Every structure is written in C-alpha cells, then in structure tokens.
Amino acid sequence: MNYLVLGGAGFIGSHVVDVLVAAGHRVRVFERPGCDLENLAGVLGKIELCYGDFSKTDELDEVFAKALEGIDLIIHLVSTVLPASSNIDPQYDIETNLKGTVCLLEQAVKMGVKKVVFASSGGTVYGPASVFPINEESSTEPLSSYGIIKLTSEKYLKLFHHLHGLDYTVLRIANPYGERQKISGAQGAVAVFLGRIKSGEVIEIWGDGKISRDYLYIVDLARAILLACENSSPVKLFNIGSGYPCSLNELITLLEEVSGCRVPVVYKESRACDSPVNYLDCRRARQVLGWRPQYTFREGLQRTWKWVAGA
C-alpha cells in the first residue's frame, strides 16, 4: 500500500512510519518546511518526503494534489495547536486545523484515496464525564477548541464517507508517551516530568494533582494505528488507551520510582480546559481490531526513562 503520513516526523508520526516501513509499505511523509527530521533518521533512505504548511489553507489544494498522487491511504496526525492553548484563539484553530482537514478530504476524493485514518483525542472530545470508563457512545462536551475541532473533523470524515464513499477510521487516543516525545515541550506530562527529573528542576502541576488521565505507550499506539489502517469493518470509531486512570500525583510517584530520583513539586492554579478524570473503555478496539496494549504502564515508563536519561 502507498501511505501518506501527515506529521510523520513528529513524536507519534515517526513511530507510525517505523511500523509502516517494517510492514513493507511505501511511505510518503508530509511535514512543514524546515522541520527537524531527527525522529526519522533510521528510515530516511526508505521513505519519501514532501512539504507544506497545514496552516496556509490558500496553498493547500496544490500541495495536497501533489502529495496525494498515487496514495491509497492517509494517516492524519497533524494539529497546529495544543489543548491548553487552543482556547486563546479559536479562530486560529478553525483556520489552521479544520479548514486544512476539509481541504485534505476534498483532495483525497479527487485523487482517488481509499481511506483516511484520523487521530482524534480521547482526552478532550468527551469533556467532563459522569460514567467511567468512557466508551465511544458517551456524550461529547469538549472544554477546549482543540477538542471541538477534533470532534468536528470526525463529523466531516463521516460526511465525506456518506457523500463520496471515502472510507475512514477515527481513533480517539488517550495520552501517549514514550521515546521521542519532547521533554521540554508544553504537552505530555510523562516526558515533561521526566525531563524535569533528569535536570533536577521543579515539576509544576496545574491544580491539586488529583486530575487523572489514561496514559498509553507509543509503541502500543503505533500498532493500533496500523491495525486501524488494515481494518475493513463497518465500525469507524475506536477509543485507544490503557483503560486505566492515573492521577498526576500517582504519576510523579511512579516516575520517581522508575528514575530513582526525587524532585520538588509546585502546585499552580487549575485550568478551565482540564476535565477532572478521563480514562477510556477500549473493548471495541479489542473486539474489532484485535488490539490491546502489550506494555504495562511501568514497563513503558521504564523504557521512556531509559531514553530520556540517555538523551
């Protein structure tokens, strides 16, 4: 199969590219001009690269037409904003994410693409929940523009399937962590906290540390995406996570155990975009995709710490 991976040089995307190449597929990566290709160092001679700016919707028709030539399947992993910052400028989120996604779908139909696999957000599209674990039929009340755009993009995928027969799968992904995630970034508690532990810096937590999330090791996520690409069932929506909650306070304890280091923690004012608890019911993915996580949380953290410590 001929794959186009949008955001293929990123944390998630590079692991997905590795899996696709290992499976024998032909892979084209779409990235922004001048991006860092370090994550793709091991496969650069085996893939094709193309460049474009997802935020420049006036240029995307031509860029996507070239990128999609000969492509069978698209894996859409691009986002130009973070959940916490998306509420600052919702119009930017609409202009650079939603419009870009619709443009992509229009070109996919024109170019004869068979399927799109879309990375949605199990951590933001549901919003505050009252019943746990959260399944795919739970209500969706996102508290951030990021979650709203992800949810709207899902609806456009369904619309294009209805209107044009473009196949798709949506993965509502939990909080991924693992090797290659930025330890100095603004997203990804595991990587950021381990980076602080390595450097001996203070760990900052928004709220009282009781916020609980579902954490998923990147290798398990990449395998789930590959299985979603190969899935031909009429089921189009899947939660992908560990299925278990872990609070930020519990996470810090685990990270200190794994690293053998202790660091001070500072608690800051809570954020309006954060739901108190989020963890996913992933039984549908087990039943339809034949997927379940292969790594325990501790195993994933140990492997991530080994990478961070050696970085």
- 35-92 pLDDT, tens digit per residue, is 999 999 999 999 999 999 998 988 999 999 999 999 999 999 999 998 988 999 999 9
Confidence of residue 187 (pLDDT cuts 50, 70, 90): confident
Specify the residue for token string 């919702």: 90
What single letter denotes the amino acid at residue 108?
A: A
From the list 124, 128, 164, the residue with the least C-alpha distance to 144 is 124
Q: What is the CATH number of domain 178-214+243-279+294-310?
A: 3.90.25.10
Q: Report which of 148, 150, 156, 155 is spatially closest to residue 109, judged by C-alpha positions.
A: 156
Q: How far is CA 89 from CA 93, 99, 144, 156, in A?
A: 7, 15, 11, 22
Distances from the Cα of 260 to the Cαs of 179, 198, 217, 253, in angstroms? 19, 10, 20, 10
Nearest to 188 by CA among 202, 204, 177, 173: 177
2-175+216-240: CATH topology is Rossmann fold (3.40.50)
Is a pLDDT exceeding 90 seen at residue 2?
yes
Choose the catalytic residue: 51, 92, 126, 146: 146
Average pLDDT over residues 221-250: 97
Give dist(CA 279, CA 242) in Å, integer: 8
Give pLDDT, residue 273: 79
Look at residue 183 in the predicted model and tell me its pLDDT: 94
Does residue 142 have a cis bond before it (omega within 30 degrees)?
no
Distance CA 35, CA 244 (A): 34
Percent of all residues in the chain with a pLDDT value above 90, rounded to a whole number: 93
Asked if the model's pLDDT at residue 249 lies above 80, the reply is yes
Backbone angles phi, psi at 116, to 5 degrees: -125, 130
Three-class SS state of 51: strand
For residue 274, the model assigns a pLDDT of 85
Confidence of residue 184 (pLDDT cuts 50, 70, 90): confident
| pLDDT given for residue 263 in this prediction | 87
Domain with CATH 3.40.50.720 in the chain: 2-175+216-240
The pLDDT assigned to 154 comes to 98
Rg, C-alpha atoms of the chain: 19
Can you tell me the mean pLDDT for 106-116? 98
Mean pLDDT score, 270-279: 89
| pLDDT, position 77 | 98
Location of structure tokens 């160092």: 41
Asked about 295 being catalytic, the answer comes back as: no
Task: In the chain, list all ranges with CATH 3.90.25.10.
Answer: 178-214+243-279+294-310
Distance (Å, rounded) from C-alpha 75 to C-alpha 21? 14
**Res. 271: pLDDT tops 90:** no
Q: What is the mean pLDDT of residues 270-275?
A: 85
